Structure 1
Amino acid sequence: MKLAAHKAATAAIKAHRPELQVGWTLANSDIQAIPGGEEIADKVRRDVNERFLEASRGDDFVGIQTYGRTVYGPEGHAPAPDGAETNQMGEEIYPQALEATVREAARVAGVPVMVTENGLATEDDTQRVAYLKAAVDCVASCIADGIDVRGYIAWTAFDNFEWIFGYRPKFGLIAVDRTTQERTPKESAHWLGSFAREQASQVAQPA
């Protein structure tokens, strides 16, 4: 149903506004396996990632939302490795997942890729800065290999209401005081802004 709806919606938009760029965004994890979990991981990768990426073929782009990896063992989903840093939901902090999902999207969909969500739920903003640095390095590696990556969007600008978790997970580059509504940019916001300005200035320089 979702695949058919995507195709129908794309066709309807193009019929009226053929010049518009049309695609969709997919929440893809880097699916990995430890010994004994290969068959499960392959099935999950097919069901959750690949079939939707295949439906993106012929679109103008595909968006990718990635936060980490999902590892499978012989008994199914495997917990985070012992000693691994975890986010506020208890998930392993693994920014390298973004490179894997961008490469997978480019390989399977064969269209330009846009990172539409990527970030970290943590109260420790030094962790977020390290995560963002690793994530943009992943994107740079993909671009260096000729993958058409059209953009990178960090999740999220402000600390937000995160589904069943409420306001507890802190994804934002900007803190929000829920009593006063005061906004305070974090160091991660300053770092990402500085990085973006630096990259823009390099692009603007004549060859």
Structure 2
Amino acid sequence: MAEPHPRQTRARVRRCLAPDPAIGARFVEAHHAAREVLRDHTGAKVGWMVAGRAFVARPGGEEKTRELEYIWEDLYLAGARGDDFVGVQSYSSQWVGLQPVRRPGGCRALPSAPGQHARGDEYPEGMTSPVV
């Protein structure tokens, strides 16, 4: 298999690093504050869209997968409690594991194969996971 272009490799590494959960908590606080203002002053239904990462645990990556799911998804899904609706979307999957190559943050680059988009992530599991 050919080596990926250096820029593609850097992009994959950057995507795997998780944001600070404290920042996510501030987004949830802001959402709750906006929800209350909207409910107090309008008849609008209130909710938000959560863009899931559809992490797939590979051998040795189960604990890291749970950690990443909380930081990227569950924190925001929990923040939707009390909303009138929540939207969920996911357009790709990302493997998480220790073998064969661990990337910073626990994610690993996928081997080049059909069914991947230009960034190297898979489509199949990512397209169906929010529906389950």
**TM-score, scaled to structure 2:** 0.68
**TM-score, scaled to structure 1:** 0.45
Structure 1 spans left out of the alignment, 5+ residues: 104-207
Contact kept, 8 Å, 1:29 with 1:101, in 2: the verdict is no
What's the counterpart of residue 32 of structure 2? Answer: 7
Residues 50-129 of structure 1: matches in 2 within 5 Å?
50-74=74-98, 75=102, 76-81=106-111, 83-94=113-124, 96-103=125-132
Structure 1 runs of 4+ off > 6 angstroms?
Answer: none
Distance in 1 separating the partners of 2:111 and 2:55? 15
The alpha carbon displacement at 1:28 in A equals 0.8
Task: Return 4-13 or 68-77, whichever deviates more.
Answer: 68-77
The alpha carbon displacement at 1:65 in A equals 2.6
Residues 2-41 of structure 1: matches in 2 within 5 Å?
2-17=27-42, 19-41=43-65
Contact kept, 8 Å, 1:24 with 1:62, in 2: the verdict is yes
Identity %: 31
User: SS of the residue aligned with 2:31?
Assistant: helix
Structure 2 spans left out of the alignment, 5+ residues: 1-25
- Larger % of strand: which? 1
> How big is the alpha-carbon RMSD for the aligned residues of Structure 1 and Structure 2?
1.6
The structure with higher relative contact order (CA 8 Å, sep 6+) is: 2
Distance in 2 separating the partners of 1:35 and 1:49? 21
- How many residue pairs get aligned? The number is 101
